[in-house]
Amino acid sequence: EVQLVQSGAEVKKPGESLRISCEASGYRFTSYWVGWVRQMPGKGLEWMGIIYPGDSDTRYSPSFQGQVTISADKSISSAYLQWSSLKASDTAMYYCARAVGMIGAPYYFDYWGRGTLVTVSS
């Protein structure tokens, strides 16, 4: 059974750093893209970026390029989303999901984690 287990909710102050995780199981982690999706309070879903753990190929949506870092550790089948300096506007639910579709160009998500709520407030 494919599962994506995300780390727990976080409450941080502006300017702090943060890394949230997504542990995959039930499939070959290095053979599928993993993506991150943001949902701000009361808003819709947004693609943030994807990573292919097999070779660490990472792609970012223009809106998130330079704002976050996506990484993966294939030795423990985990993907990460990281901020170096959080802002209040980073308050959101963040989902990880397995991305599939065309080879080298995934365009939908077949399995999702439950999400990690990140709250940034002074």
Partner 1 sequence: QSALTQPASVSGSPGQSITISCTGTSSDVGRYNYVSWYQLHPGKAPKLMIYDVTNRPSGVSNRFSGSKSGNTASLTISGLQAEDEADYYCSSYSSSSTFGVFGGGTKLTVL
Using CB under 8 A as the binding criterion, the count of chain residues that bind partner 1 stands at: 27
- Residue (of 13, 49, 20, 3) closest to 116 by Cα position: 20
- Residue 76: both structure tokens together: 């423990």
The residue from 20, 34, 53, 113 that contacts partner 1 (CB under 8 A) is 113
Binding mask 58-77 for partner 1 (x = CB under 8 A): -xxxx---------------
Residue 98 and residue 108: Cα distance in Å, rounded?
Answer: 8
Closest approach of partner 1 to the CB of residue 111, in Å: 8
Decide the pairing of beta strands 18-25 and 3-6: antiparallel
**Residues at the site binding partner 1, with contacts judged by CB under 8 A:** 4, 35, 44-47, 50, 59-62, 95, 97, 99, 101-102, 105-115
